[in-house]
């Protein structure tokens, strides 16, 4: 859905693992990997910002506050 441009947000739980990576930092790009193999498909997306809030359940968000990664242009 991200590759097709239909999904403009990605979600991560608010936990210490993600907090130490996101809090007080800024990023321009985010890379997604579909699997753990070294030849798994990979693509990069422009990161427009990171917010905290309630995401869209149709896109995989839980019914709790999460980190919302706002996604822009896809670079394949």
Lowest mean per-residue pLDDT among 7-11, 32-36, 56-60, 63-67: 56-60
Rounded distance between C-alpha atoms, residue 37 and residue 41, angstroms: 9
Please indicate, yes or no, whether the overall pTM of this predicted structure exceeds 0.85. yes
Could you give the count of Cα atoms lying within 13 Å of 2 in the half-sphere of its Cβ?
Answer: 24
| The two structure tokens encoding residue 39 | 């030849």
Interval 9-41: pLDDT, tens: 999 999 999 999 999 999 999 999 999 998 999
Contact in structure between 55 and 61 (CB atoms under 8 Å)? yes
Rounded distance between C-alpha atoms, residue 19 and residue 2, angstroms: 23
Rounded distance between C-alpha atoms, residue 1 and residue 68, angstroms: 16
């Amino acid at each position: 859905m991200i590759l097709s441009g239909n999904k403009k947000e990605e979600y991560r739980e608010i936990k210490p693992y993600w907090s130490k990576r996101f809090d007080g930092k800024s990023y321009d790009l985010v890379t997604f990997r579909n699997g753990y193999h070294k030849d798994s498909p990979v693509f990069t997306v422009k990161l427009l910002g990171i917010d905290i809030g309630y995401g869209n359940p149709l896109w995989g968000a839980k019914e709790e506050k999460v980190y919302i990664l706002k996604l822009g242009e896809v670079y394949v």
